[in-house]
Amino acid sequence: MVTHRIALIPGDGIGQEVLPAATAVLDVVGRRHGVALRYDEFDWSCERYLREGAMMPEDGLDQVRDHDAIFLGAVGAPGVPDHVSLWGLLIPIRREFRQYVNLRPIRVFEGVPSPLREATPDDVDLGVVRENVEGEYSEVGGRFGRGFPEDMAVQESVFTRAGVSRIADYAFELASRRGGGLTSATKSNGIVHTMPFWDEIVAERAAGYPDVRWNSEHIDALCAKLVLSPARFDVIVASNLFGDILSDLAAALAGSIGMAPAGNINPEHHFPSMFEPVHGSAPDITGNGVANPIGAIWTAAMMLEHLGHDAAAHDVLDAIAGVLAKSDLRTPDLGGSASTEEFTAAIVDHLG
């Protein structure tokens, strides 16, 4: 029996509803594969912010530094500005633990129609690799002239050779393992300093992966192509902002944002990686018990894979695909009337 210590941060809104679903699945699959997960739960959230003035304690990062992974639901709640919740919890974790890869797989499952009528399980199976610690989401800049008519804001993008090289390497390696191609998202026609720099380094790194066919696409055209012919894509590597937008678009192609998983990964395993579904806290459906748990459950499978349990991860994916293909059970975001609990129970049954 292998034991892993997991820091569990349900966070806000439906994060509180989908993480229990995912841990229920982890418990079953763990028993089957001899993997024991020990959870330490943290109440870091907007609720804590409103109560104590901070999303997490001063020494929060140290409290989770030695865990094998962090599993997070969602953060954000009405009444707390989104930049406060994001920069008070998620971004410090991503940066301090050098989770410089944000990996977001997207698949069309049998039984879940894509809004694109032509998209099938055979052709939509791709991964967005988002640079996760620099780029457009930088702290460099400031406000000037507050309270005057010339009030202004400046925010500088930061692209480093080390940062672009390592994200490109991760994406090329993933594309090579999947036996597919790589597309690099750029905008070097409009953004004349950072994006040509990105392009240059991606081209340099490509030389080390002669087996991977790759190309560059401008982000605007790439968005259009992703909708028009998603089957053309396998791995897409993108800067922080481009990758954020692309992965929500790609998640929607798969039928619902509630299905999309994500990992914030420190590939060297020097620090714990953090796994969280792509969706947010969904205040509009919080408390109704109808959140789609697939995003969180698939995220749990990514965590298992990261911890070295490929077969267990595979079983979870099979269970998701199996329940979707063989039953009509769907949460309301997919047009059904199943509750989070009912859908989760079906997955657990399928595994057991």
Taking CB under 6 A as the binding criterion, the range among 51-59, 128-136, 279-287, 300-308 that sits at the site for ligand NAI is 279-287
Q: 111 to 130, contacts with ligand NAI by CB under 6 A? A: none
> Out of 27, 123, 199, 248, which one is annotated catalytic?
248
60 binds ligand NAI (CB under 6 A): no
Coil, helix or strand at residue 210: coil
The letter for the amino acid at 72 is: L
Coil, helix or strand at residue 32: helix
Which residues lie below 8 Å from residue 53, measured CB to CB, with a gap of 6+? none
Q: Give the alpha-carbon dihedral of 289, 264, 317, 110, to 10 degrees.
A: 80
339 binds ligand NAI (CB under 6 A): no
* CB of 240 or CB of 281, closer to ligand NAI: 281
* CB of 6 or CB of 285, closer to ligand NAI: 285
Per CB under 6 A, the list member of 8, 19, 28, 74 interacting with ligand NAI is: 74
Per CB under 6 A, the list member of 60, 261, 272, 280 interacting with ligand NAI is: 280
305 binds ligand NAI (CB under 6 A): no
Residue 82 appears among annotated catalytic residues = no
The letter for the amino acid at 68 is: D
* CB of 68 or CB of 276, closer to ligand NAI: 276
Taking CB under 6 A as the binding criterion, the range among 61-69, 212-220, 233-241, 287-295 that sits at the site for ligand NAI is 287-295
The Cα 229–Cα 147 span in angstroms is 48
Question: Quick one: which of 119, 141, 133 has its CA closest to 91?
Answer: 133
Q: Is 74 within 8 Å of 278 (Cβ atoms)?
A: no
> Out of 234, 244, 315, 333, which one is annotated catalytic?
244
Q: In the bound complex, which residue of the shown chain has the CB atom lying closest to ligand NAI?
A: 76
Give the end-to-end CA distance of the chain in Å, rounded to a whole number. Answer: 18
22 binds ligand NAI (CB under 6 A): no
Per CB under 6 A, the list member of 106, 124, 128, 285 interacting with ligand NAI is: 285
Give me the residues paired with residue 70 across strands. 7, 274
Give me the residues paired with residue 236 across strands. 128, 183
The letter for the amino acid at 207 is: A
Sign of the torsion angle spanned by Cα atoms 76, 82, 88, 94: positive
Residue 244 appears among annotated catalytic residues = yes
The minimum distance between CB 156 and ligand NAI, in angstroms, equals 23
Our measurement of the distance from residue 193's CA atom to the centroid of its chain's CA atoms, rounded to an integer in Å, reads 28
* CB of 186 or CB of 264, closer to ligand NAI: 264
- Residues engaged in binding ligand NAI (CB under 6 A): 14, 18, 74-76, 82, 90, 257-258, 276, 279-285, 291-292, 295, 331, 333
Catalytic residue positions? 137, 187, 220, 244, 248
